[in-house]
């Protein structure tokens, strides 16, 4: 068990980036890091909040047009929004976790010319789970605090957020064909972006799967209808997966090693 107070101290002022394919749990990992005091900035959430707060502005209309089709919002819109939010005083003091940005090599170049990141976290999730988790797992999200749920990690009371009790909603781009498109686009973008992320020297993989011989409490595993869920891995094998709580523990252990040490 890590000491949360020391962990909070250790990450204070740090600049973290969370990266991974659609449906890999970026939002949930960001929330876990936010719980340690970092400011969570998510490109997707910033954009969805814009749409919610000013649905009729020209900018929102452009954003909605691209988001609905599962396309990236043009850089001239997203780049100033993200850079602007990172350079606020409070954000620099507390530190931040940025997710959903950069998504392209060009965005990465702009970002790393402005900030030195302390950790670039890559969420490693088997391909076969990405669509499955979102569609079959019936992904839903809290519109207020942005916590994500699915049938693998359901809320305590169906339809309501555990944290803030808001009514859960489905995202407008969580549709099977649009997910496929987002994954295809991601594959293209990642080829160009990954070398840049790795070149920061701060790159770390965080895997959602559990090794066969790893002993682990069943309460930390993804289950569906009470049974431990086995996913097909990218190399054709089978593996168990961590649930929200399991991933939070794995994440906290990793950042403890990096920022606090033993």
Buried b / exposed e over 230-240, threshold 16 CB at 10 Å, is ebebeeeeebb
Strand runs (DSSP E) across 136-228, as ranges?
140-141, 148-149, 203-207, 209-210, 223-224, 227-228
Cβ atoms within 10 Å of 112's Cβ, excluding its own: 17
Binding string, 161-180, against Zn ion, x = CB under 5 A?
A: x-xx-x--------------
Tokens of 258: 């990096």
Q: Is 173 in the site for ligand ADP (CB under 6 A)?
A: yes
Angle, helices 176-198 vs 105-114, to 10°: value is: 50
Q: How far apart are CB 9 and ligand ADP at their closest, in Å?
A: 29
Alpha-carbon dihedral sign for residues 85, 245, 209, 234: negative
- Alpha-carbon span 21 to 187, nearest angstrom: 8
Region binding ligand ADP by CB under 6 A among candidate stretches 5-13, 21-29, 124-132, 239-247: 21-29
Buried b / exposed e over 123-155, threshold 16 CB at 10 Å, is bebbeebbbbbbbebebbbbbeebbbbbebbbb
Q: How far apart are CB 124 and ligand ADP at their closest, in Å?
A: 15
Q: Is 73 in the site for ligand ADP (CB under 6 A)?
A: yes
145 binds, among ligand ADP, Zn ion, none (CB under 5 to 8 A by kind): Zn ion
By C-beta, is 25 or 126 nearer to Zn ion? 25
By C-beta, is 149 or 186 nearer to Zn ion? 149
Yes or no: say if 54 and 60 are a contact pair by the CB < 8 Å rule.
yes
22 binds, among Zn ion, ligand ADP, none (CB under 5 to 8 A by kind): ligand ADP
103 binds, among Zn ion, ligand ADP, none (CB under 5 to 8 A by kind): ligand ADP
Q: How far apart are CB 255 and Zn ion at their closest, in Å?
A: 24
Contacts with Zn ion by CB under 5 A lie at 142, 144-145, 147, 161, 163-164, 166
Contacts with ligand ADP by CB under 6 A lie at 22-23, 26, 43-44, 47, 66-67, 70-73, 78, 100-101, 103, 107, 173, 182
């Amino acid at each position: 068990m890590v000491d949360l107070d020391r962990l909070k101290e250790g990450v204070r002022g740090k600049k973290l980036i969370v990266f991974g394919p659609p449906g890999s749990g970026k939002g949930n990992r960001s929330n876990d890091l936010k719980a340690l005091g970092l400011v969570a900035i998510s490109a997707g959430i910033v954009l969805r909040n814009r749409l919610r707060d000013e649905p009729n502005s020209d900018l929102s209309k452009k954003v909605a047009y691209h988001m609905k089709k599962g396309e990236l919002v043009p850089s001239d819109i997203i780049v100033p929004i993200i850079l602007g939010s990172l350079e606020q005083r409070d954000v620099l003091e507390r530190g931040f976790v940025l997710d959903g940005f950069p998504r392209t090599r060009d965005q990465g170049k702009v970002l790393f010319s402005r900030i030195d990141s302390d950790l670039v976290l890559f969420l490693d999730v088997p391909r076969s789970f990405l669509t499955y988790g979102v569609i079959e797992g019936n992904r839903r999200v809290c519109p207020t605090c942005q916590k994500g749920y699915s049938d693998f990690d359901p809320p305590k009371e169906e339809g309501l957020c555990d944290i803030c009790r808001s009514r859960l909603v489905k995202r407008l781009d969580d549709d099977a064909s649009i997910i496929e498109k987002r994954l295809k686009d991601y594959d293209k973008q990642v080829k160009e972006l990954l070398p840049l992320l790795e070149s920061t020297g701060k790159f770390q993989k965080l895997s959602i799967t559990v090794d066969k011989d790893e002993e682990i409490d069943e309460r930390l595993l993804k289950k569906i209808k009470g049974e431990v869920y086995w996913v097909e891995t990218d190399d054709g094998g089978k593996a168990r997966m961590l649930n929200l709580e399991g991933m939070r523990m794995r994440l906290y252990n990793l950042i403890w090693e990096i920022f606090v040490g033993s």
